[in-house]
Chain A
Amino acid sequence: MSEEIIKDVIVREDEDYIVNMGPQHPSTHGVLRFEVCLKGETIKYVIPHIGYIHRGIEKMCEAITYPQIIHLTDRMDYLSAHMNNEAVCLCVEDALQVEVPERVKYIRTILDELNRLASHQLWWCAFGMDLGALTAFFYGLRDREHILDIFEESFGSRLLHSFNTPGGLMHDVHPNFQNRTKEFIKYFRKKLPEYDQLLTGNVIFQARAKGIGYMNRETAIAYGITGPSGRGSNFACDVRKIAPYSAYDKVEFKEILLDGGDTFARYKVRMAEMWESLKIIEQLVDNIPEGDFTAKMKPIIKLPVGEYFKRVETARGELAVYIVSDGNKTPYRIKFRSPNFSNLFVMNELVAGHKIADLIAISGSLDLVIPDIDR
């Protein structure tokens, strides 16, 4: 079926100097193409082109069963893989009205927060590297290896674990899990101030980040910018506080809200979130209740006819899962509202008037993972 080519509404004039950044580019962190229109060093507008890694996950999920969907959701925002899995599992469990054991809730929350830490560490080191502080890359990765080692011991894989399953977990965590997590917290509490020493207080870094890419609260809400990027503009969007799930209602933690609205505010929100994550893990890791690692589920999971909706807070924002079921063992339609999709399209508003170097800083502070945009 062929359609006529639709003309783009942005008129490109003859004197516009158009530079393409991507799809292969060291700082776009994925296959994304920015069509940047320059006037000298200043940017007039930027158009993101996506679809280079569109795999049709939503269509594929219509042909596989619910436990099999977990393996595909891993690969959307691969840095918060566990939280993506959890979203689908929670939606299915709510629909079947299954109560998971307490042990499962605690372990899921601890793994969520470890995943959030690993994701923020990778964000920090990539952000430093984009701005030119190449040493930051190695410091962040060095510490992230400890978390990935914990994951590997329990699940067998470092990044895409697919450990959740509707009803609970695939199997129990390794006996060493608690001790290693406690050791890691002690280790990382000593290392996290180093991050501040290297980047946060640096004059050059602050000059590159303060006042760049200002986004006020109305823009954040209108574009649906959630996660740390939205919280840097005083938009209280933390799903862990709005609609708590798993063990989040049992822990004390602060929702970090700053009203700077610029790159530096978004940076500080993520740094503070790392401290909060450590606090949450500390509160939970000693008190994991004994019990089953999964609830009793039927071998073939069929959701009753109807529509179900669930939201979780990934490292980058709010992930919402919307399942339409017609009673079969595969979903009729599943929709993933991914945080990066909404976060990307505010770029044009943020970069207008800035320089190319600021485009890199802004897209680093929005922390985009491209496979999540394309799905």
Chain B
Amino acid sequence: MTMLNKQELTELILKMVPEATFPEGTQLTEVIVPADKLLLLAQGLKSHKDTDFDYLISLTAVDFITNMTMVYHIESVQYRHLIVIKTILTDRVSPVVDSVSSVWITAEFHEREVFDLFGIRFNNHPNMKRLFLEDDYGYPLRKDFRDEINIIER
């Protein structure tokens, strides 16, 4: 089997999650899914024999002021296609999303880092504990984070 192009990936993903949308004009193939379908899509992409996305390159979050977006870069070792999954979380006060650590084990630690820096909690995470910072430090990478003592704003 070979590397799937953007068209074929789009069709396969729409079969798994019909609510997925595909933004145009991006550097890599991106797909935006609603938060409750994320785990479904992740499991589907990993187990489907034509996609076989078994390698999670990077898991991170971005704080756009009105929402928080989770960004997952995944790749297939066998076919070498690369795709970016995004989920938009509208609740900024206590954002919650499903954990994908049951699909890719390395996600367990990336999600701890995201929790540490952004405050996004993950359902069904085996060890939801902060990674770098103390337990009562805020969530530094949020855009509304202020630390009067340690951070000098320009």
Q: Which residues of A contact B (CB under 8 A)?
A: 1-3, 5-6, 8-10, 50-51, 54, 56, 58-59, 63, 94-95, 221-224, 235-237, 242, 306-309, 311, 318, 320, 322, 324, 332-333, 335, 337, 341-342, 345, 374
The answer to whether B28 touches A309 (Cβ under 8 A) is: yes
Of the candidates A51, A307, A324, A341, the one having the most CB atoms from chain B within 10 angstroms of its own CB is A307
Q: How far is the CA of A9 from the CA of B129 in the complex (A)?
A: 9
Distance in angstroms from B144 CB to nearest chain A CB is: 11
Q: Note all chain B residues with C-beta closer than 8 A to A237.
A: 77
The answer to whether B129 touches A224 (Cβ under 8 A) is: no
Q: Which residue of A lies closest to B86 (CB)?
A: A307
Sort chain B's interface into a size bin. Answer: 35 or more
Given contacts A9-B126, A221-B77, A236-B77, contact A342 B106 (CB under 8 A): yes
Given contacts A242-B80, A306-B27, contact A56 B57 (CB under 8 A): no
Distance in angstroms from A5 CB to nearest chain B CB is: 5
Q: How far is the CA of A59 from the CA of B152 in the complex (A)?
A: 12
For B140, give its contact among A56, A235, A322 (CB under 8 Å): A56
Given contacts A221-B55, A224-B56, A345-B109, contact A58 B141 (CB under 8 A): yes
Of the candidates B25, B58, B71, B135, the one having the most CB atoms from chain A within 10 angstroms of its own CB is B58
Q: Which residue of B lies closest to A5 (CB)?
A: B135
The answer to whether A308 touches B27 (Cβ under 8 A) is: yes
For B73, give its contact among A2, A54, A221, A309 (CB under 8 Å): A309
Q: How far is the CA of A95 from the CA of B28 in the complex (A)?
A: 12
The answer to whether A223 touches B126 (Cβ under 8 A) is: no
Q: Is B26 an interface residue (CB 8 A)?
A: yes
Q: How far is the CA of A63 from the CA of B151 in the complex (A)?
A: 11
Q: How far is the CA of A58 from the CA of B136 in the complex (A)?
A: 20
The answer to whether B132 touches A6 (Cβ under 8 A) is: no
Q: Note all chain A residues with C-beta closer than 8 A to B39.
A: none
For B57, give its contact among A8, A50, A337 (CB under 8 Å): A337
Q: Note all chain A residues with C-beta closer than 8 A to B77.
A: 221, 235-237
Q: How far is the CA of A341 from the CA of B109 in the complex (A)?
A: 8
Q: How far is the CA of A224 from the CA of B58 in the complex (A)?
A: 9
The answer to whether A222 touches B106 (Cβ under 8 A) is: yes
Q: Is B138 an interface residue (CB 8 A)?
A: yes
Q: Is B40 an interface residue (CB 8 A)?
A: no
For B26, give its contact among A3, A10, A221, A307 (CB under 8 Å): A307
Q: How far is the CA of A211 from the CA of B55 in the complex (A)?
A: 26
| B70-105 CB contacts (< 8 Å) to partner A | 71, 73, 77, 80, 84, 104-105
Given contacts A222-B105, A222-B106, A224-B56, contact A8 B73 (CB under 8 A): no
